[in-house]
Chain A
Amino acid sequence: MTRASLLLAAALIAPAAFAQDTAPDTLVKGVTQEVLGVIKQDRDIQAGNQRKTIALVEEKVLPHFNFARMTALAMGPNWRKATPEQQKALIDQFRTLLVRTYSSALSSYRNQVIDFKPMRGQAGDADVIVRSEVKQPGGEPVSIDYSMEKTPGGWKVYDVVVGGVSLVTTYRETFTNEVRNNGVDGLIKALADKNRQLETKNG
């Protein structure tokens, strides 16, 4: 390798390395505050306009999730049994379902305060849990934890745990049962049907 190509390589790598230096908890906090800030200003979203909420989630939140890994985790050993086309279809359908569900949850946001707790883990960890708490009036605070991993594209979320209930673990049971009863294609169909049903219901 000549010196020139080394310098060129360094120049190309440097900006990318700089971009992924945002610490995971700073990232989650920043995105959360940004999204909640938009919701507080937007009357449409508060009134329940699903399309606008989904657009917001797709723009601000989606880029920070690793849906491929989430789907693979939720499938467990069945992931290997699916062809690459099926895997792609599963990821697409699961992502649509989660985006809709998350958007729905956001539209019931009523100015609760969200606290971010100090992150657990060493400085060099590639897999961390970012912990937050939503203060509820008249009840115990609800914990929301994000399991995040470091990827070449930055920190990505691969599991969300709400009040101790893990998204991946809960869906894993559903997926396992569906695959056992109807196969991988049956699962893809069930997810697609569910998404279609939600779309017609909410518009």
Chain B
Amino acid sequence: MTRILRLAAAVAMAALAGCSTVRSPDSRDPWEGVNRATFEFNDGFDNVLMRPLAEGYRFVLPSPARTAVANFFSNLNDPWVALNQLMQGKVERAIDDLGRFVWNSTFGLIGLIDVASDMGLQKHKEDFGQTLAVWGVDFGPYFVLPILGPSSVRDTGGLAVDAFAYLPWQIPKWADFDHRVTWQWSLTGLDLVQTRASLLDATDLLEQAALDRYAFLRNAYFQRRRNLIYDGNPPPLPADKQSDPTPFADPAPRGALVEPALPPNYSAVLAVDAPRTVAAR
């Protein structure tokens, strides 16, 4: 109990501190103070609960078993992916993803074995946040969710819809299982732990690589979302190719050179974050 109180006090202090120091201003993140505070809270929650659970999970379960569990939950996600592909106008992909669900559920033993990937039907990642993006909804401010981490106002709205289609929670309800609540919480909890376990290496890398983890994660989040929305082929940002062509040049007379036009606060990102045309596949 005292630990929770201490955590709450830490959050309150972090919130106050966060509100006063905005260390890396970004036009996409007008709520940086609050976001940093939530980020600190998430870190605490992760270190106290999620990380130990995930490390224990990884220790207890051998790799093939963890793969089977991951495949199981990934399979339950595929029908929603297919529906989102359809809502974005990508009919062929919708059929592929539905095919994944069918093959994995049958030949793959309720999804434990991913036979579909071997058949050439690759896993796609789609969610309602991406569908909203394709429909033309703008990003909205960056928003760190408690526990779940980086998001944006648009993607949080998307998550709310994703929750309706989250099968580990909904199937016990629709199929009216006995001990429904136990099933729902157990499956959801297992999914959270196994997801966290699969990200353990990535979070270790983040600690190594980043000077400012909050800003690093924020930046990576925006790039990743663009990549997902454009299905791996995002149009290049105007700032990408800025460089000094002769890195070891002596500092030339300032007036002689033209500064590369790096947009000061990446407002260009918002401008190019436009929905894909359906024709481009």
Smallest beta-carbon distance B269→chain A, Å: 10
Flag the segment in A10-18, A19-27, A34-42, A79-87 that touches B: A79-87
The answer to whether A84 touches B223 (Cβ under 8 A) is no
Bound complex: CA A178 to CA B251 (Å): 21
A68–B205 Cα distance when bound, in Å, is: 23
In the assembled complex, which residues on chain A have CB atoms less than 8 Å from the CB atom of B198?
A: 138-139
| CB atoms of A84 and B251 under 8 A apart | yes
Q: How far is the CB of A164 from chain B (nearest CB, A)?
A: 2
A98 smallest CB distance to B (angstroms)? 8
**Contact assessment for A140 and B125 in the assembled complex, using a CB-CB cutoff below 8 Å:** yes
| Smallest Cβ-Cβ distance to A194: which chain B residue | B211
Counting CB contacts under 8 A, is A56 at the interface? no
Chain B residue nearest to A67 in the complex (CB): B247
A176 to chain B, nearest CB (A): 8
A32 within 8 A of B: no
Shortest distance between the CB of B180 and any CB in chain A (Å): 27
Give the residue name and chain of the B residue nearest to A167 (CB). Answer: B209
Residues 206-258 (chain B) with a chain A CB within 8 angstroms: 208-212, 215-216, 219-220, 223-224, 226-228, 232, 234, 237, 239-240, 242-244, 247-248, 250-251, 254, 257
Tally of A-B Cβ pairs under 8 angstroms: 117
Please, what's the 1-or-0 string for A70-89, where 1 marks a CB less than 8 Å from any CB in chain B?
Answer: 01110011011001100100
Q: Does B70 contact A (CB under 8 A)?
A: yes
B-contact 0/1 string along A151-166, CB 8 Å cutoff: 0000000000001111
Contact between A77 and B208, CB atoms less than 8 A apart: no
Beta-carbon contact of B237 and A169 below 8 Å: yes
Q: Collect the chain B residues with CB atoms within 8 Å of residue A140's CB.
A: 122-125
Residues of A within 8 A of B122 (CB): 140-141
Selected contact of A164 from candidates B227, B251, B254, CB within 8 Å:
B227
How many residues of B are in contact with the other chain, CB < 8 A?
52
**Which residues from chain B contact A79 at a C-beta distance below 8 Å?**
244, 247
Q: 0/1 per residue, B74-99, Cβ < 8 Å to A?
A: 10000000000000000000000000
Picked from A72, A138, A191, the residue with its CB within 8 Å of the CB of B114 is A138
B220 touches A165 (CB 8 A): yes
The residue that B211 contacts in the complex, of A137, A143, A178, with Cβ under 8 A, is: A178
Q: Cβ of B227: which chain A residues have Cβ within 8 Å of it?
A: 163-165
A110 to chain B: closest CB distance in Å?
A: 8
Contacting pair A143 B232 (CB below 8 A): yes
Residues A174 and B208 in contact, CB atoms below 8 Å apart = no
Tell me, yes or no, whether A105 is within 8 Å of chain B by CB.
Answer: yes
Interface centre among A137, A141, A190 (most CB of B within 10 A): A137
Cβ of A33 within 8 Å of any chain B Cβ, yes or no, is no
A141 cross-chain contacts in B, Cβ below 8 A: 122-123
Q: How far is the CB of A126 from chain B (nearest CB, A)?
A: 12
By the criterion CB–CB under 8 Å, are A77 and B259 in contact?
A: yes
Q: In whole angstroms, how far apart are the Cα atoms of A96 and B243 in the complex?
A: 21
Q: Is B71 an interface residue (CB 8 A)?
A: yes
Query: Which residues of A lie under 8 Å from residue B117 when comparing CB positions?
Result: 135
Q: Is the CB of A174 within 8 A of B247?
A: no
What string of 1s and 0s marks CB contacts (under 8 Å) between A95-138 and chain B?
Answer: 00100110011001010000000000000000000000001011
Contacts of B251 in A (CB 8 A): 80, 83-84
Known: A76-B262, A80-B259, A138-B67. Is A69-B247 also a contact (CB below 8 A)? yes
Additional A-B contact list (9), CB under 8 Å, known A138-B69, A174-B24, A174-B210:
A76-B262, A104-B205, A137-B114, A138-B71, A138-B74, A141-B123, A164-B228, A164-B232, A177-B23
Q: Interface on A for B, CB 8 Å cutoff?
A: 68-69, 71-73, 76-77, 79-80, 83-84, 87, 97, 100-101, 104-105, 108, 110, 135, 137-141, 143, 163-166, 169-170, 172-174, 177-178, 181, 190-191, 194, 198
B interface residues, Cβ below 8 angstroms from A: 23-24, 26, 63, 66-71, 74, 114, 117, 122-125, 198, 201, 204-205, 208-212, 215-216, 219-220, 223-224, 226-228, 232, 234, 237, 239-240, 242-244, 247-248, 250-251, 254, 257, 259-260, 262
